[in-house]
Structure 1
Amino acid sequence: MTMHPDDLLEQLKKNATPRKQRSLELIYQVCREQYERGSRDFSVATIALIAADRGGPSKGAIHNKTGDDYKGLIKAWAEHTGGVTRKVRQVSENPYIELLNKIENPALRSMMSGILAENRQMRRQITLLKAEGNRVIDMRPRPAENREPVQILPASTGLYPSEIEALRHAVSDRLLRDEGWTSDAEGRVLNEAGRVIFKPGYVTAIRKIIGEGDTFARQSAKQVGVGTDKLDALEPE
């Protein structure tokens, strides 16, 4: 198991010259900043770019045999934070590579790269969420024996299928029958004694929300003896 970066730094400094101690502390600080900004890039190339700009060891110095202590400290930070020590090539995936290359300050370039990478990830997640929310309303006519009400799904109502099914159950004939209730043409729900359980508009409102308003209206018209031809005449052209 790799030693914690704090403990490793103190151990490496014990046998180091004052100059190397400062370099080790600088490498440690750069790695800490990478972690704090949420970057997983602990490659020698990235750490050396930032460190060298502050007077620290260069990429070549870290890659040399004498730079093993630096590499060990960088590796400790990578393993401690779940980062990577090899720079991932993203030339084809990063549309901002040309813009990033124009930023001369390596620390600023690294920070901006992390921000843009996070932005791309969030955009991908938003796209997936949108895909989950989109639903297609099948308006094709079906055979009479298999005809089902057209469902208005999340893309139009903001409701999920499970929520629509719950509303459909709340005004279903089966539930009303099991509870000993009935509904009238005005959308009220009444119990066996004729007492109003839900006020006028309750059933009709839910039917409209789930896209079955027209079906309910026709059923209610039949119950009160109104012909469907008269009902059609009341509808706007």
Structure 2
Amino acid sequence: MNPEDVLTALKSDSSPKASRTLDAIYEICREQEERGVYEFSPSVISRLGLKRGVPRAQSIINKTGERYRTLLRAFEDKHSNSAKSVVTSNKESDWIDEIPNPAHRLLIRAQESELKAAKKLLREIVPPGERIDVFDYQHSEQSNDAKLSDIERRALQYIISQEFLSRWSFSTTEYGEIVDGDGNVVLRAATVNAVEKALINL
């Protein structure tokens, strides 16, 4: 069964709360697929989706998390050949297999997957060859027009405030996105970072 069919089957026999958790895990796994990172371990998926309704890794590993592990295994099975080919062809990471401690080896594999995901996200935000101009606003005089007015500053502060996020059931992700209660992106990656920088520099 493909992951979507597994999700449907699991939700048919789950409580509403468990169904929402399954949906959250499914969305995180789909994002991993889109990034080309086929790492679906409880620790990685939990870390990526902690603010989006995914339980902690220990909860997934426990007996009560069996349905969540089943969904993760569906993604692992789907990409088992791809994952193997990546490992065998990627000489840069072969040294990880030589680490004798299994726990350390697993941890480093997870970190490697997150690094690949971060690099891919960075390439999406800043395409190769793109020119980036950096201005040191903190050490240069700015005209009054370039600075935020009090009203503009309060508006930006409100966008990333807990009051605003709670009112609309929004939350932020580690990529600086603002997402709704279902994990759908409302404001794209780096939005939170951009607002914070604007408040500091303008």
- The TM tier, using the shorter chain, reads 0.3 to 0.5
Structure (1 or 2) with the larger CA radius of gyration: 1
Structure with greater contact order relative to length (CA < 8 Å, sep ≥ 6): 2
User: Which has the larger helix fraction?
Assistant: 2
Q: TM-score, normalised by structure 1?
A: 0.36
| Length-normalised TM-score, structure 2 | 0.42
